[in-house]
Structure 1
């Protein structure tokens, strides 16, 4: 079953490759879509009535926030320390945890599918991908990483199973990632892809590396020991990838 949902400012595609009755698959899709819309209602920085907007206006105290909001705030603080400040939910000024929330919400969506009985699925939220098991062909899920200058070409094609893939780049949304050291837009890297066991972390690591610029190449290489492989393209067109990147052959 394939389903596309407009939510969180992007299109989320849900592919279920399990041999289950259609009504069960539909119930799984409905549950995931309901969760993603709930996340959008609570964490959107564009909605005046969202929990994060109320927190930004100091109408509520962090201690009084929902359990999910407290988790996100704590995770962002942990990532700020882990990345030496390069992952910063306050980099552009007011609180904006979007660099963590999208990957986290899709990771939870995949976990909900597993709990409901789906062992073969792929959830793709605008390039943030959580794959489990195998595709309908029985092969690993294939994920194309867009060429950062030529939209009709791919830099890499990955074959993933039970892994997450997150890509952060400046070729679609422009200068949306900031270097907290300079206060200006990130420079040096055009595209960063991270592959690993958890999408929330993979997404945050990709954002942090992009903020670091070329220093992010060496920083990401150290994460391979923790199961997070990477592929990067610099502003001047050089490409780097870690030895364990699951590139399709």
Structure 2
């Protein structure tokens, strides 16, 4: 059973009310989706932590239902956790990383307000920036030409390639889940690339394909589009003709 400090948000107004009750309190905000298997695991972790750290507030936000809240925190995939003290950002944890969440909650939920982590000026504290290991060197050394060559190779690794958030078995956004499901339903064989694992690929594809969002479906090395376009093409028969 969840403790009294474990709350499911029902509206943006409700969200603001519960966060404003105590601006010295640490809040752990869990952005989740009911269709994502990793979220089920992390919801249980959050419940267990709420029982252990009674002084902290654990807030459940269904990302797609409460889209305004998710967008205000720039949430692009689930599960994602944001840890605040009042309105000050302390940390972000992306993905089903129970160990990282547990360590972060243990660190901040037991840290006094007067610790060096608190700010006395008007500038909000910034969460630690974690750079994926596969970006540390590539982002410094890879030229635009080299990146575009790599992107084109990825786009041509198979006849149909889906650049998505997560994987078909564990999608990390609703659009990625829907488009991969649509391809499976129509018997389309495809390879995928998780753009959350490589920031260079993620940003480079936006420029190369002149398409600002994900997922991006590639057929024969060329961009077809995102979920809406693919869905429309499937419905009117154009997608079947494209693959014929």
TM norm structure 1? 0.25
Say which structure is richer in strand.
Answer: 1
Say which structure is richer in helix.
Answer: 2
